[in-house]
């Protein structure tokens, strides 16, 4: 397809037009990342220091309790919030798919939190979960004095508060993407399932869901990137506290770059964050390569 569009003469204008692309892709994603990785092997504090010192920063990183907490947190938070988001989002999508009244109104309600900044989301939920003001105070006001729910004040539960806020912000998007996926499933499939007497919930779970792999993959990619980058929500909702209990890798990197003034340590953490991304992308690339070869051989 592309070959058809290729012109024999070198298109000078096209090269000029793509100068920003070249600058960005080479400057930021090769040179920039290369520089970050290199600095992780130095003693850079605020300004660059190019003296190579080996793996010292990585040794320090993996013997720092706060970083270990951050790594544990991102796995737990990632697993919980992605799972809850998918389940809740798919439930909403399936229920929205039942010829219900006011579908557009409900869609608007489920999606609006996504339009707002994660800073706003964090502040809102910090207030809802504030024992002196939000949910707990409301329940006390209604005479339910034993009620106590303020996960953010306890280092053991603060992460679950973040998960709730994350679901509130993102479940609507998951619903919208999965609903679009559901409506894209071939009508004949539903007829066949009905004729075979398969219950609706089984059709949704075991027939429709595997057929909308694209939509599910989209949701997963969106969620994974969101989890890896999570920063704003932590800053506004818990400030990584109480007592660093909700520390995340992205927050750790930024603290090293700003307050702690230890850029090299921050870059070691950032390089570690990049690693899973590179592994996954390489894995997908290799898989596609082999899948392509198989298709060509068949």
Partner 1 sequence: MSTLAMDIGIRAADEPWGGRPKRLTAGRVGLYAFLIISAIFFLIPLYVMVITSLKAMPEILSSNVLALPEKPTVQPWIDAWLHACTGRDCTGLHPGFFNSVKITVPAVIVSIFISSLTGYALSFWHYRGAGFFFGLLVFGAFVPYQVVIYPIILGLRTVHLFSTLPGIIAVHTIFGMPVLVLLFRNFYAGLPIELFKAARVDGAGFWQTFFRIMLPMSVPITVVALILQVTGIWNDFLFGVIYAGRANWPMTVQLLNIVHTTQGIPQYDVNMAATIEAAAVPLIIYFVSGRWFVRGIAAGAVKG
- DSSP one-letter code for 153: G
Options 5, 63, 65, 297; binder of partner 1; rule CB under 8 A:
5
52 binds partner 1 (CB under 8 A): no
Q: Which of 83/205 has CB closer to partner 1?
A: 205
Q: Which of 101/156 has CB closer to partner 1?
A: 101
Question: To 5 degrees, how large is the angle CA 115–CA 154–CA 223?
Answer: 30
Q: Which of 18/157 has CB closer to partner 1?
A: 18
Q: Which of 14/296 has CB closer to partner 1?
A: 14
Query: Between 73 and 102, how does the x/- string for binding to partner 1 read (CB under 8 A)?
Result: ------------------xx--xxxxxx--
* Region from 51-59, 60-68, 180-188, 289-297 binding partner 1, contact rule CB under 8 A: 180-188
- CB count, 10 Å around CB of 108? 11
Binding footprint of partner 1, residue count (CB under 8 A) = 105
Residues from 222 through 251 that contact partner 1 (CB under 8 A): 222, 225, 228-229, 231-232, 235-236, 249-250
Q: Which of 163/176 has CB closer to partner 1?
A: 176
Q: Which of 202, 244, 248, 214 is nearest to 229 (CA)?
A: 248
Residues 6+ apart with CB under 8 A from 194: none
Q: How far is the CB of 6 from partner 1 (least distance, A)?
A: 5
Residues from 181 through 220 that contact partner 1 (CB under 8 A): 183, 186-187, 190-191, 194, 199-201, 218-219
261 binds partner 1 (CB under 8 A): no
Q: Which of 80/120 has CB closer to partner 1?
A: 120
Question: To 5 degrees, how large is the angle CA 84–CA 87–CA 89?
Answer: 95
58 binds partner 1 (CB under 8 A): no
Options 61, 177, 212, 216; binder of partner 1; rule CB under 8 A:
177
Q: Rounded to whole angstroms, how far apart are CA atoms 34 and 198?
A: 55
Residues from 11 through 40 that contact partner 1 (CB under 8 A): 11, 13-15, 17-18, 20-22, 24-33, 35-36, 39
Q: Which of 218/298 has CB closer to partner 1?
A: 218
Q: Which of 78/134 has CB closer to partner 1?
A: 134
Q: Rounded to whole angstroms, how far apart are CA atoms 28 and 295?
A: 35
Q: How far is the CB of 134 from partner 1 (least distance, A)?
A: 7
How many CA atoms are closer than 13 Å to the CA of 250, on its beta-carbon side? 13
Question: To 5 degrees, how large is the angle CA 234–CA 237–CA 239?
Answer: 60
Q: Rounded to whole angstroms, how far apart are CA atoms 244 and 229?
A: 18
Which structure tokens are listed for 216? 């599910």
Residues from 104 through 163 that contact partner 1 (CB under 8 A): 106, 108-120, 123-125, 127-128, 133-134, 137-138, 141-142
Q: Which of 121, 207, 104 is nearest to 162 (CA)?
A: 121
Q: How far is the CB of 165 from partner 1 (least distance, A)?
A: 9
Which structure tokens are listed for 29? 């994603």
**Residues 236-254, buried b or exposed e (16+ Cβ, 10 A)?**
bbbebeeebbbbbbbbbbb
């Amino acid at each position: 397809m592309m070959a058809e569009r290729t012109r024999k003469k070198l298109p000078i204008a096209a090269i000029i037009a793509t100068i920003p692309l070249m600058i960005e892709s080479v400057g930021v994603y090769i040179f920039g990342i290369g520089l970050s990785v290199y600095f992780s092997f130095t003693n850079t504090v605020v300004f660059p220091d190019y003296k190579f010192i080996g793996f010292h920063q990585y040794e320090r990183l993996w013997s720092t309790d706060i970083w270990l907490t951050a790594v544990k947190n991102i796995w737990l938070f990632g697993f919980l919030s992605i799972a809850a988001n998918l389940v809740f989002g798919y439930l909403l999508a399936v229920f929205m798919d039942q010829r219900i009244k006011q579908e557009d109104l409900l869609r608007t309600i489920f999606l609006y939190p996504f339009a707002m900044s994660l800073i706003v989301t964090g502040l809102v939920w910090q207030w809802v979960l504030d024992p002196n003001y939000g949910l707990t105070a409301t329940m006390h006001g209604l005479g339910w004095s034993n009620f106590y729910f303020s996960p953010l004040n306890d280092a053991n539960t603060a992460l679950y508060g973040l998960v709730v806020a994350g679901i509130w912000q993102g479940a609507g998007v998951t619903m919208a993407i999965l609903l679009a996926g559901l409506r894209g499933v071939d009508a004949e499939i539903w007829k066949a399932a009905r004729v075979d007497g398969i219950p609706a919930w089984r059709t949704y779970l075991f027939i429709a869901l595997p057929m909308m792999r694209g939509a599910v993959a989209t949701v997963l990619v969106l969620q994974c990137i969101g989890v890896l980058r999570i920063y704003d929500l932590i800053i506004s909702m818990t400030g990584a506290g109480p007592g660093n209990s909700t520390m995340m890798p992205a927050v750790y990197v930024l603290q090293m770059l700003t307050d702690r003034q230890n850029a090299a340590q921050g870059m070691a953490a950032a390089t570690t964050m990049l690693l899973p991304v590179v592994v996954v992308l390489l894995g997908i690339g290799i898989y596609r390569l082999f899948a392509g070869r198989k298709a060509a051989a068949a």
